[in-house]
Structure 1
Amino acid sequence: MTSPHWRLILNGKSAGDDDLRAAVHAMRERGVVLDVRVTWEDGDAGRHVAEAIADRVGTLVAAGGDGTLSEVATALAHCDLQVDALPTLGLVPMGTANDFAAAAGLPDAPLSALELVAAQPAHAIDLLRLEANGRTHWAANLASGGFGTQVTVETPEGMKKLLGGLAYLLTGLSKLGRIEPVEATLHGPDFAWRGGFIALGVGNGRQAGGGQALCPDAWVDDGRLDVTVIPELAGEVAATLGTVVSEGKIAALDRVATRARLPWIEIDAAQPLVLNLDGEPVEAKHFRIECAPGRVRMHLPADCPLLSQPSR
């Protein structure tokens, strides 16, 4: 029987992680042929994925945060191959917030995450494709805008390393009282919204920015994007966010949110708008975001909350 051939694509920021190193050795001792490649600069993930396909690697494992996952998934999506001919995809959460991994119920420990890849079959999952300024961008999790995006973009890298997801909360609290709504028009099939929003989420995952559950009911395999718009809350912003912090959830925002499930959506803003695409800021006045159904196959827990039909 041929041993499985995996390739782990590791974010360079986590290259010295002892637990990951031990987990890689443990999987090799169990018979998995597991190579490691490290990303240091833009384009590395794409090169490593192309090399893995040429080497007929069966499974790619992204080791990093949401950005690393999206970089590897993007490289797979760009390949001119049928989905069944592409390597399957696994994830070892190594980022600051790990929003996709948290929503998917993936284990935090590197060895447990690799064991899950070995034990669970891969599911076809959707990706998010965003068009802006004549360029195409891809993501596995969410595109977010408004207050949450400002927090994610403005949180210092050093604070992220020291405090993890708490860094986003502290940055958010510092912005209370100066949240300015974004004026925009959104439309999709049988859906239209216009006004000022303080938060926007579009995607296949459920949370972004260190735990902001913007799309709490999203699935990654339904061929649709979940859309959440939190409108301007005149005079109530501080109280609403205070409820979020004290209760540890978005119950207050939920009461005023507009939600939809669409195959695509277009966004037009009066002024340049920044959308955070799994850590990549994209600025434009016009966006078109589409769901790319079943674009990659990913190893997820049997009871993964993001699957519309979990394999229990």
Structure 2
Amino acid sequence: MKAPRWRLILNGKSAGDEPLRGAVQALRARGVALSVRVTWEAGDAERYVAQAIAEGVDTVVAAGGDGTLSEVATTLAHRDECADDLPSLGLVPLGTANDFAAAALIPDAPDAAFELIHASAAQAVDLLRIDAHGQTHWCANLASGGFGTQVTVETDDGLKKMLGGLAYLITGIAKLGRIEPITARIRGNGFDWSGDFIALGLGNGRQAGGGQALCPDAVIDDGLLDLTIVPELSGEVGATVGTLLTEGRNAALDRVAVRAQLPWVEIESTQPLTLNLDGEPLEATAFRVECVPRRVRMHLPPGCPLLAVPGNPLPLAVDDDAPEPGPVMVPA
């Protein structure tokens, strides 16, 4: 039987991780032909994935945080081949927050993450495609704007290294007194909203920024993105903060959020808006965000809460002439 061929694409910040080194050696001892490439600068992941595809590698493993996962998934996504003809995708979480891995229940320990990839069949999953300034970007987990994005962008790297996800909470508390709303129009198929918002989530996955569950019901195999808008709170601040203290963050979000599930949305803002795409900021005044069904195949744990449809029966090809479904409204 032919030995499986894997390519590990490792974020350079984690190049000295000893548990990962031991897990790599153990996997090689089990007969997996595993080679390692380390990313140091922009473009490295794309080059390494292209090489893996050209060499017929079976599985590409992203070792890092949400940004590394998104970078590797992006490189697979913009290839001309369909998902079935590309290497499958695995994840070894080594980042600070690991929001996608946490929501998907992918284990933190490198040896356990490798075992998951080795033992589980790859599932076809969706990705988000974002068009702005005439260029296309991709997002594997969640695109966010407003307050949450400001917190993520402004959280100090040293603080994140020391405190992990708690660093985002500390930064968020520090910013509470200076939240400035953003005026925008957000529309999709059968959905149209205009006004001022302080936070925006466009979820393939559920959470970002160290555990901010902006899209708590999102799944990654339904062909829809989950939209969450948190309008300017005005007189509801006291009630919302009270709910936050007594019932938790999700209950506070439910009190004020506007939510929908849509195949696409278009965003127009009166001022430059920054969307955080799995850690990468993208600024524009107009965006089109589309959920692309079954764009990559990923190894996920049995019973993964981000999967809604066992076996992923959605079609690989999308009929552009078919009528689009209306939005699925989620009561807040």
Identity %: 70
Amino acid aligned to 1:161: K
User: Contact (CA 8 Å) 1:177, 1:238: kept in 2 or not?
Assistant: no
Superposition pairs of residues 127-166 of structure 1, within 5 angstroms: 127-166=127-166
Residues in 1 aligned to 2:91 and 2:164: alpha-carbon distance in whole angstroms: 19
Superposition pairs of residues 17-166 of structure 1, within 5 angstroms: 17-166=17-166
User: Contact (CA 8 Å) 2:188, 2:265: kept in 1 or not?
Assistant: yes
Residues in 2 aligned to 1:176 and 1:125: alpha-carbon distance in whole angstroms: 36
1:307 aligns with 2:307: yes
Number of the residue aligned with 1:198 = 198
Number of the residue aligned with 1:282 = 282
How far off is 1:135 after superposition? 1.2
How far off is 1:176 after superposition? 1.3
What is the DSSP-based 3-state SS (H/G/I as helix, E as strand, rest coil) of the residue aligned with 2:161? Answer: helix
- TM-score of the pair, normalised by structure 2: 0.91
How far off is 1:234 after superposition? 0.5
Structure 1 alignment gaps of length 5 or more: none
CA deviations 1:210-244 (Å, max 9, x no partner) are 10101111110111111001111104436635643
CA deviations 1:68-113 (Å, max 9, x no partner) are 0010001001212121110000000011111111111111111000
Residues in 1 aligned to 2:245 and 2:41: alpha-carbon distance in whole angstroms: 36
Residues in 2 aligned to 1:26 and 1:254: alpha-carbon distance in whole angstroms: 45
What is the DSSP-based 3-state SS (H/G/I as helix, E as strand, rest coil) of the residue aligned with 1:176? Answer: helix
Amino acid aligned to 2:19: D
* Alignment CA distance shift 1:286-1:171 (3 Å): same
User: Contact (CA 8 Å) 1:303, 1:310: kept in 2 or not?
Assistant: no
User: Contact (CA 8 Å) 1:10, 1:37: kept in 2 or not?
Assistant: yes
* Alignment CA distance shift 1:209-1:239 (3 Å): farther
Residues in 2 aligned to 1:53 and 1:230: alpha-carbon distance in whole angstroms: 41
Moved over 3 A (4+): 235-239, 241-248
- TM-score of the pair, normalised by structure 1: 0.97
Residues in 1 aligned to 2:243 and 2:27: alpha-carbon distance in whole angstroms: 44
Greater mean deviation of Cα atoms: 238-247 or 20-29: 238-247
CA deviations 1:50-85 (Å, max 9, x no partner) are 000111000000000110001000100121212111
Amino acid aligned to 2:231: P
How far off is 1:310 after superposition? 4.3
User: Contact (CA 8 Å) 2:269, 2:285: kept in 1 or not?
Assistant: yes
Question: How many corresponding residue pairs?
Answer: 311
* Alignment CA distance shift 1:239-1:164 (3 Å): farther
What is the DSSP-based 3-state SS (H/G/I as helix, E as strand, rest coil) of the residue aligned with 2:256? Answer: coil
Superposition pairs of residues 125-274 of structure 1, within 5 angstroms: 125-237=125-237, 240-241=240-241, 243-244=243-244, 247-274=247-274
How far off is 1:132 after superposition? 0.8
Amino acid aligned to 1:4: P
How far off is 1:203 after superposition? 2.2
Residues in 2 aligned to 1:104 and 1:219: alpha-carbon distance in whole angstroms: 10
How far off is 1:245 after superposition? 6.0
Residues in 2 aligned to 1:211 and 1:241: alpha-carbon distance in whole angstroms: 18
What is the DSSP-based 3-state SS (H/G/I as helix, E as strand, rest coil) of the residue aligned with 1:177? Answer: helix
Aligned-residue CA RMSD (Å): 1.3
Greater mean deviation of Cα atoms: 82-91 or 243-252: 243-252
What is the DSSP-based 3-state SS (H/G/I as helix, E as strand, rest coil) of the residue aligned with 1:253? Answer: helix
User: Contact (CA 8 Å) 1:225, 1:291: kept in 2 or not?
Assistant: yes
Amino acid aligned to 2:71: E
CA deviations 1:117-159 (Å, max 9, x no partner) are 0011000000100011111110101110111001001101111
What is the DSSP-based 3-state SS (H/G/I as helix, E as strand, rest coil) of the residue aligned with 1:250? Answer: helix
